[in-house]
Amino acid sequence: MKLIVSGGQSGADLAGIDWAIKSGLPYEIRTFEGFKPVGGRSLDYTNITYIPYFSSYSSYVSKLRGRTKYNVQHSDCTLIFLDCPIEETSGSRLTLTLCKKYGKPYMPVPIFGEQKIAIQEAGRLMVQYTVVNIAGTRTCNEDTVKLVLDKIWTIGSS
Please give the pLDDT value at position 55: 67
Domains and CATH numbers, the chain: 3-157 (3.40.50.450)
Q: Which residues of the chain have pLDDT under 70?
A: 54-55
Cα distance between residue 25 and residue 12, in whole Å: 17
pLDDT per position as a tens digit, 89-132: 999 999 999 999 999 999 999 998 778 889 999 999 998 999 99
CA dist 110 and 119 (Å) reads 9
Q: How far is CA 39 from CA 5, 12, 109, 144, 153, in A?
A: 21, 13, 23, 18, 28
Output the pLDDT for position 102: 98
d(CA 30, CA 69): 11
Determine the Cα–Cα distance for residues 24 and 77; give it in Å rounded to an integer: 20
| Residue type for position 145 | V
Q: In whole angstroms, how large is the CA radius of gyration of the chain?
A: 14
Residue 96 confidence (pLDDT): 98
Cβ atoms < 10 Å from Cβ of 128: 13
H or E element in which residue 108 lies: strand 106-110
CA–CA dist 63, 35 (Å, integer): 9
Predicted confidence at residue 112, as pLDDT, reads 83
Say what the pLDDT of residue 146 is: 95
* 74 neighbors 131 (Cβ within 8 angstroms): yes
* pLDDT for res 116: 86
